[in-house]
Amino acid sequence: MTDTRTPAPGRGARPRSRPWRRLTTALAACALAATGLAASPAGAAGQAAWEPKPAPMTTPWTDQVSVDNPLPEYPRPQLTRPDWANLNGIWDFAVTDADAGVPDSFDEQIRVPFVAESALSGIQRKITPGDKLWYQREFTVPEDWDGRDVKLNFGASDWETTVWVNGEKAGEHQGGFDAFDFTVTDHLKAGANTVTVSVWDPTQHGGGAVGKQRQDDEHDIEPHPGGGIWYTAASGIWQTVWLEPVAPAHITRLDLTPELGDDTLRATVHAEGAAGREVKVTVLDDGEEVGSATGTAGEELSVPVPDPHLWSPDDPFLYDVKAELLPADGTAGDEVGSYAGMRSIGLKKIDGVQRPVLNGEFVFQTGTLDQGYWPDGLYTAPTDEALKYDLQAHKDLGFNMVRKHIKVEPQRWFHWADKLGLLVWQDMPSMDTGKVPDAPAREQWEKEYHRIIDQHRSSPSVVMWVNQNEGWGQYDQARIADEVKEADPSRLVNNMSGVNCCGSVDGGN
């Protein structure tokens, strides 16, 4: 494996109207340096060379996707570290019965992170709830990562994902739209390591969030777009997989909420293995410190941002943020990079009519119902440039808002919305239509929703959470709206969109 260390984001000059440009450029350089690990498939002997399948419709980026290093960009722009290793690329692949164990052989290959139903995966066929998908590849951990824990990160995998490293179970996860990771340090060995992943995806036949995905013959869904308003399912790994070394005590999440009432950025540094440890958060503009605050991990800090340069669609100004877990008693600290936009969103009566206001002013929000499907990659955009282009097109057409409809995109999509200046109404993907969800499905759906809120709460572009859509698996609207508003008081909450049903009561706001 190539040593994938990259320098921390640099501090080059930039115009004041685009403060994010420096960090974006640095992240792009980081991504180019973090080349994908050359896959060493364990069961690939005698296999034909991997090739993509013909897409039902191509895009300008279909032929630009690297075989061994697709989507090489750093996948988590609001929590960056300089050392990481991209595991995207060619993996060994097999499909078994849903109740089967690890297969004896892997007879196919798949390009991760494109789902098995997509052309860009090289598989492009229908997956059913009776199938289990299996992925396997080798990797080697750089020697200079010694002394640190190693995290195995998944941007998203749909739906039930189980991971083994060198034959030992590292963890499992349920959910198709939220990121997750496992600490795999204790499962590693010197030299080549083997990671094996299984994914079972019930789509509309199981509990939890599904959106517009469909697998069954009733909707005539083949491995290409079709079936009226229902779309091809996206089964398996569909966002970047990567390795990252961290200190035993390290930052896991950074919550950033602007407070224009007193010109501060409210920051909470969540950390693992760091109870009672001191943290520091610094806000910077063009490399110069604007304000800083110290406190305790897990507690909210108020970082002064005097005379803040406000974020808006017309001027999407972003401050850089540095969060530190300070060393203590000979124990190593940790540092991550991030960014924040200073803006407020709320409600206000204007000429007797209640309106949504941005930074205290009424801004008419106009945008698209963006479903986020690609003809070549389905749930996964072929390249980061394609992801950016889709949002830039909104701006070019005169829109200032996008409603991400019953899908949750990779974190880099939110990064581009933050940077380009689009207001985002973020849906929680619905459960299946025409059914009353049972208790386990409700519990799973609500858990995943709160994880999604936590993972995207720091993006200034997100101004509204849309809980439920058109009566699809709809229930307890008022309670859910109140709980979402309590979890994130800084944003508007739309309790349901499209249909007043099921004994609806408002809740939230």
Domain range summary for the chain, segments of one domain joined by +: 21-246, 250-340, 345-494
**CA–CA dist 449, 441 (Å, integer):** 12
Of the candidates 470, 465, 441, 438, the one whose C-alpha atom is nearest the C-alpha of residue 454 is 465
Secondary structure element (H or E) that encloses residue 290, with its range: strand 288-296
pLDDT in tens, the chain (509 residues): 333 333 333 323 333 333 333 333 333 334 333 433 444 444 444 456 899 999 999 999 999 999 999 999 999 999 999 999 999 999 999 999 999 999 999 999 999 999 999 999 999 999 999 999 999 999 999 999 999 999 999 999 999 999 999 999 999 999 999 999 999 999 999 999 999 999 999 888 876 898 899 886 555 555 545 567 888 999 999 999 999 999 999 999 999 999 999 999 999 999 999 999 999 999 999 999 999 999 999 999 999 999 999 999 999 999 999 999 999 988 889 999 999 999 999 999 999 999 999 999 999 999 999 999 999 999 999 999 999 999 999 999 999 999 999 999 999 999 999 999 999 999 999 988 877 889 999 999 999 999 999 999 999 999 999 999 988 888 999 999 999 999 999 999 999 887 766 656 666 66
DSSP letters, 366-401, are -EEEE---BTTTBTS-SSHHHHHHHHHHHHHTT--E
Please give the model's pTM, rounded to 2 decimal places. Answer: 0.89
**pLDDT reported for residue 409:** 98
Classify residue 234 by burial, with Cβ atoms within 10 Å: 0-12, 13-18, 19+.
buried
Q: Which fold has domain 21-246?
A: Jelly Rolls (2.60.120)
**pLDDT reported for residue 330:** 80
**pLDDT reported for residue 208:** 84
* Tokens 């974020």 -> residue: 311
Q: Which fold has domain 345-494?
A: TIM Barrel (3.20.20)
Residue type for position 477:
Q
CA 422 vs. chain centroid, Å, equals 17
Is the separation of the CB atoms in 2 and 84 below 8 Å?
Answer: no
So what CATH class is 250-340? mainly beta
First to last CA, the chain: 50
Comparing 21-246 with 250-340, is the CATH topology the same?
Answer: no
Is the separation of the CB atoms in 476 and 449 below 8 Å?
Answer: no
**Bridge-based pairing state of the strands 192-200 and 160-165:** antiparallel
**pLDDT reported for residue 509:** 63
**pLDDT reported for residue 229:** 83
